[in-house]
Structure 1
């Protein structure tokens, strides 16, 4: 009987150009679908525990979440370009180029998340006011949103690391990493929100729990990428900006970012309309 470790190794070594097309597609699709469920679970878990703090806390998290969805459209675009180019070079057998694309996407992610964190930190309160939040909601949401925007680097990097591995044909490892991060978030949320073993942080505790959980996910993902146990093998000595590759990744990802940003902006508009009916709407 095969162990889970053997199954993981076999999945990583699967040649997607050989064998049953349906089986190969399912080998990629199933972990990705489950990964999307886990991404949603992060928000659901936050809402469950924050809900115990009252309606204003729920509204603060919901409003902040709609803003974060717009921000995340940028990383979705980078991820789209990354998957396209990593899969292209992996399929062509050019591992060196695939590794280079992966490194440039991480550099681009660091630059983008740093700029967004700097801008968002100063604009967080204003954006919540613009959405029509009450003074209590704005006060609660400002800290929550600032923490997630500053901690956005780990969220960007975790998302990108998953995209890199999926582009190289390994969809199982990102799923396992997300399982670990989700379980950690489930554990940390009540502890940090209600002050069990930590200072009581309320809404901000949910944000810190999310950042810490995803940060642990990033550490695991980087360990996989840099130790050479995945189809992609990154090395610190290869950290060098390649503007040509960064431009190509960006060019491929921009249409996807625009499409997703329009959808997310619709959610922001809806949130602003609902806010007019009060905190408990």
Structure 2
């Protein structure tokens, strides 16, 4: 495991981030692989799966928030040398995750028709959506447990093992998808529900492996919670609830955007669904850094090493701006191939190209906002992260996208979203740098 209090920052971040990137390539393939194979079924199934993304990502966002709270609490204990407290809180986090995800999935299942109607899905589309969602919701707890288990690993400076487990889950899903969707060999032809079943099987295998390794091999959690469970939950939730709220603003904004895009027809919804999945792949390095940076920030926060906190943050920001610029150029160069690969419908392909031309230009600024959010959470300042996320979506991104759409159609909608992303990134950087300077002056 990495020594996060004394090792050189740039090599440490590199060693922690690269394994996460490799694992996330496979993990994010869940959505992209599902989208690709479902696109072969036609435009209507592709549009249906696009409606699921805001809902599934809402649950995932809550789990990400729990992971952030877990990592921040455990990282601070690790920085203070309190290993037993870290172990007890890691165990509490696993049980808390299972309880909350099961509850949210049940509520989602009971209100599914109302939710997807609000997103703009027709009755026929809702029937297709629920073929996917019924199985996905049933297995959602098994998606959540590996994610929080990986946060326990990362809080202790270990990133290689979580990445291997993420890669394994993605590989299993990629193999099972075509078998279950199209009924290859002895497998039944399940259509869109086959994609959900493939994911659930992957989730379950990952849960069994990660929990067993955490408890038996590394001793970072116990099989059963110890005394003080409620107090441990409270410490985690103090950070996790605002962090989850901030993360759940993302799918809420996506839901609003999906509803706005739905006014342009099924082809626009299908194209937008492809675009959002491309965004998850294009931003994987940013997301990996948002997982590797907080443990370093948390442990040095616990030890009072504010100069290392500032150095790590600024280094990550500079790298992300350069990296995402390169990603944008690559997307422009390969946009035609991507559009044709995901749809033979010319109207869908044209909107995919429009998406690629406009929104990825702001991915660097989006990365600044994401890293600033994760750094605020690592400093145990989740309410600042929540406020920043709210401003990002509901003061800038969604309102400007709406205005652009009213004036210039779907092209204006994308341009308005781009302007909102850039404005938020600039504000986020200035705000966090000001907070760091205040901490350094106090120190």
Q: TM-score, normalised by structure 2?
A: 0.58
CA 268–241 in structure 1, closer or farther in 2 if over 3 Å, else same? farther
Aligned partners of 2:255, 2:224: CA distance in 1, in Å? 42
Q: Deviations over 1:40-84 (max 9, x none)?
A: 221000001011111111111111111111222211211111001
Matched with 1:3 is none
1:261, distance to aligned residue in structure 2 (A): 1.9
Matched with 1:179 is 167
Q: In the alignment, which of 131, 136, 141 is matched to residue 153 of structure 1?
A: 141
Matched with 1:268 is 255
Contact 1:78 1:250 in 2 (8 A): yes
Within a 5 Å distance, the mapping from 1:70-219 to structure 2 comes to: 70-196=58-184, 197-219=186-208
Aligned partners of 1:195, 1:159: CA distance in 2, in Å? 30
Contact 1:128 1:142 in 2 (8 A): no
1:239, distance to aligned residue in structure 2 (A): 5.6
Aligned partners of 1:168, 1:183: CA distance in 2, in Å? 26
**Is 1:251 aligned to 2:238, yes or no?**
yes
Q: Deviations over 1:89-147 (max 9, x none)?
A: 22222221111111110111011011012111112222112211122211110121122
1:267, distance to aligned residue in structure 2 (A): 0.7
Aligned partners of 2:248, 2:93: CA distance in 1, in Å? 20
Contact 2:26 2:171 in 1 (8 A): no
Aligned partners of 1:237, 1:64: CA distance in 2, in Å? 34
Matched with 1:47 is 35
SS of aligned partner of 1:53: coil
The worse-fitting range, judged by mean Cα deviation, of 155-164 and 91-100 is: 91-100
Contact 2:63 2:147 in 1 (8 A): yes
Q: TM-score, normalised by structure 1?
A: 0.89
SS of aligned partner of 1:128: helix
Contact 1:137 1:279 in 2 (8 A): no
Contact 2:23 2:165 in 1 (8 A): no
Aligned partners of 2:111, 2:227: CA distance in 1, in Å? 32
| Consecutive unaligned residues in structure 1, runs of 5 or more | 1-11
Aligned partners of 1:16, 1:277: CA distance in 2, in Å? 49
CA 248–59 in structure 1, closer or farther in 2 if over 3 Å, else same? same
| Consecutive unaligned residues in structure 2, runs of 5 or more | 269-443
Matched with 2:266 is 279
SS of aligned partner of 1:63: helix
1:221, distance to aligned residue in structure 2 (A): 0.6
1:212, distance to aligned residue in structure 2 (A): 0.7
**Is 1:242 aligned to 2:229, yes or no?**
yes
Higher helix share: 2
Q: Deviations over 1:181-210 (max 9, x none)?
A: 111111000011111222111100000101
Aligned partners of 2:189, 2:15: CA distance in 1, in Å? 43
Aligned partners of 1:184, 1:142: CA distance in 2, in Å? 23
Q: Deviations over 1:229-279 (max 9, x none)?
A: x3x433324466711110110111222222222222111011112223332
SS of aligned partner of 2:158: coil
Contact 1:133 1:279 in 2 (8 A): no
1:33, distance to aligned residue in structure 2 (A): 3.2
- The alignment covers a number of residue pairs equal to 267
Matched with 2:339 is none
Contact 2:26 2:169 in 1 (8 A): no
Contact 1:120 1:146 in 2 (8 A): no
Which structure has the larger Rg?
A: 2
Aligned partners of 2:152, 2:7: CA distance in 1, in Å? 23
CA 212–59 in structure 1, closer or farther in 2 if over 3 Å, else same? same
CA 240–114 in structure 1, closer or farther in 2 if over 3 Å, else same? farther
Matched with 2:18 is 30
SS of aligned partner of 1:233: coil
